[in-house]
């Protein structure tokens, strides 16, 4: 049933209603304007460079070049292929280009026009590309639907990888067994539910529980050591406040800058939450396919778990640079999926962003006192990347086999290996889907030259 759902979504293309089209275009205009103002960018790698730009130590063109260099591979190698294969929009396709266009724009009024133009390209151009691709002798978009199964199931393992890296093999083995049991039980007892949803929930809770336990144990040991030296934790805090919170002054200035533009951030939160509520947008690779299949609550779960891996990164980079994330802590994704109507999505999305921006300084202070939790977020992000890298590579080879059998695997796998040998001009995560599209085009050319017969079925 799930596979059919994905095929139907992809086969139908991106046939958006007028309100959906307008939402995408207006949101792209807004995100480009906010990027131009250096208030927020989507690319986490670009955010640290924003501090120099905000303070005038680097130029707009130089910052744009950094943004383009860090984003282009994800836009064309991951964002576009994922949207075409799942029939669901994603943040790499929408928000990375508006990062670039907003920074590129020399005038404030031009930025939203450029962003709206990109939104129109996505809304109208992508659907045309989808229809053309499905009419080709070698339909590589339908073949790319093969990516859904490995992405969904291998993504389930990211908590196991994170636990293993942070807490060792024994805890990793326990987490792995627990997740396997839960996946099998879910498939048997609740066949209509995404099999990895419960396993991921338990895995993330195990990781957080282990991290909090380690932090509490460390604080207890520190208090005991201080008592043995005849000092108290309170004395230590009052004597050396700067050592406990060395980034306080920097964080305070950045938080104040973001709070000054709170109404604009609330508008942004409302827009992103509304887009998620329409179920034409997925915040991640696995989420896109879950939404395509109609598994909305499971999609909300998946994106909710991802939040734990990104809150420390987004909070610290925002406080250090003065630029927030276009999707905030990404909480508006799962909340938006579950909203019953657009009006409520707008109200709640605005409220969520207001709370996030106002709480940034407090979150930074809390994270400073929980080093193991901070480390957990780093391990979570790395585990998500590792699991998705394998899943996307494996899924891309399955797509290659579906569209061209051995020759398809040779071309797609060869392009991927060539990218590795050349030092990864295309980022690793995007290299395999990009290779599928290039391979699909090449197989069509070979067909027209009467050198290749498409795989049947």
- Which stretch of DSSP H or E encloses residue 40? strand 40-41
CA 107 to chain centre: 29
Residues 114-138: pLDDT tens digits? Answer: 999 999 999 988 877 777 877 888 8
Residue 253: other Cβ atoms inside 10 A: 11
Burial class of residue 336 (count of CB atoms within 10 Å of its CB; 0-12, 13-18, 19+): buried
Residue partners of 369: CB distance under 8 A and separation at least 6? 215, 244
Confidence at residue 181, expressed as pLDDT on a 0 to 100 scale: 93
Give the single-character DSSP code of 281.
Answer: B
Confidence at residue 248, expressed as pLDDT on a 0 to 100 scale: 55
Confidence at residue 278, expressed as pLDDT on a 0 to 100 scale: 94
Confidence at residue 231, expressed as pLDDT on a 0 to 100 scale: 55
Confidence at residue 317, expressed as pLDDT on a 0 to 100 scale: 83
Confidence at residue 418, expressed as pLDDT on a 0 to 100 scale: 94
**Two structure tokens written together for 155:** 């993504």
Confidence at residue 249, expressed as pLDDT on a 0 to 100 scale: 55
Instruction: Kindly report the pTM of this predicted structure.
Output: 0.82
Here the contacts of 53-57 (C-beta below 8 Å, separation 24 or greater) are 53/103, 54/257, 54/321, 54/322, 54/323
Distance between CA atoms of residues 211 and 108, nearest Å: 45
Distance between CA atoms of residues 70 and 32, nearest Å: 17
Residue stretches of the chain with pLDDT short of 70: 1-13, 230-251, 456-457
Position of tokens 């144990």?
Answer: 217
Confidence at residue 10, expressed as pLDDT on a 0 to 100 scale: 39
Distance between CA atoms of residues 84 and 88, nearest Å: 8
Confidence at residue 244, expressed as pLDDT on a 0 to 100 scale: 47
**Two structure tokens written together for 336:** 């938006």
CB 315 within 8 A of CB 337: no
CA 305 to chain centre: 12
Position of tokens 């707008």?
Answer: 346
Phi and psi (nearest 5°) for 413?
Answer: -65, -40
Burial class of residue 153 (count of CB atoms within 10 Å of its CB; 0-12, 13-18, 19+): middle
Distance between CA atoms of residues 113 and 230, nearest Å: 65
Strand ranges in 274-388 using DSSP code E only, listed in sequence order = 324-325
CB 162 within 8 A of CB 382: yes
Instruction: Kindly write down the DSSP assignment for every residue of 268-280, as one continuous string.
Output: HHHHHHHHHHTTS
Computed from CA positions of residues 370, 372, 375, 377, in that sequence, does the dihedral angle turn out positive or negative? negative
Distance between CA atoms of residues 1 and 194, nearest Å: 11
Q: Tell me which residue of 386, 363, 369, 367 sits closest to 377, measured CA to CA.
A: 367
């Amino acid at each position: 049933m799930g596979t059919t759902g994905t095929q139907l979504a992809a086969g139908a293309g991106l046939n958006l209603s007028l309100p959906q089209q307008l939402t995408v275009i207006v949101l792209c205009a807004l995100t480009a304007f906010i990027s131009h103002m250096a208030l927020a960018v989507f690319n986490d790698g670009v955010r640290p460079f924003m501090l120099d730009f905000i303070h005038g130590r680097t130029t707009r063109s130089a910052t744009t070049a950094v943004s383009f260099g860090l984003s282009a591979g994800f836009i064309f190698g991951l964002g576009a292929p994922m949207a075409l294969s799942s029939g669901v929009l994603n943040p790499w396709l929408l928000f990375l280009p508006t990062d670039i266009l907003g920074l590129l724009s020399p005038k404030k009024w031009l930025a939203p026009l450029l962003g709206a133009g990109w939104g129109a390209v996505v809304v109208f151009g992508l659907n045309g590309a989808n229809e053309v691709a499905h009419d080709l002798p070698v339909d590589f978009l339908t073949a790319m639907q093969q990516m859904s199964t490995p992405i969904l199931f291998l993504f389930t393992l990211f908590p196991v990888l994170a636990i293993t890296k942070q807490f060792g093999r024994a805890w990793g083995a326990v987490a792995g067994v627990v997740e396997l049991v839960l996946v099998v039980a879910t498939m048997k007892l609740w066949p209509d539910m995404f099999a990895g949803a419960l396993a991921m929930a338990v895995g993330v809770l195990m990781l957080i529980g282990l991290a909090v336990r380690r932090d509490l144990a460390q604080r207890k040991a520190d208090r005991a050591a201080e008592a043995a030296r005849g000092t108290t934790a309170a004395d230590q805090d009052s004597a050396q406040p700067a050592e406990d919170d060395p980034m306080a002054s920097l964080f305070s200035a950045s938080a104040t800058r973001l709070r000054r533009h709170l109404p604009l951030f609330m508008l942004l939160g409302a827009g992103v939450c509304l887009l998620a509520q329409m179920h034409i947008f997925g915040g991640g690779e696995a989420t896109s396919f879950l939404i395509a299949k109609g598994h909305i609550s499971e999609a909300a779960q998946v994106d909710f778990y991802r939040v734990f891996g990104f809150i420390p990164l987004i909070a610290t980079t925002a406080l250090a640079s003065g630029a927030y994330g276009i999707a905030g802590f990404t909480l508006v994704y799962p909340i938006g999926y579950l909203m019953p109507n657009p009006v409520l999505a707008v109200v709640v999305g605005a409220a969520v962003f207001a709370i996030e921006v106002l709480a940034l300084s407090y979150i930074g202070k809390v994270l400073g006192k929980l080093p193991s939790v901070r480390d957990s977020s780093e391990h979570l992000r790395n585990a998500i990347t590792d699991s998705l890298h394998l899943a996307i590579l494996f899924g891309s080879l399955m797509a290659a086999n579906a569209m061209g059998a051995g020759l398809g695997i040779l071309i797609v796998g060869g392009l991927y290996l060539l990218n590795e040998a050349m030092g990864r001009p295309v980022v690793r995560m995007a290299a395999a889907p990009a290779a599928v599209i290039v391979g699909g085009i090449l197989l069509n050319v070979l067909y027209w030259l009467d050198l290749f017969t498409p795989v049947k079925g």
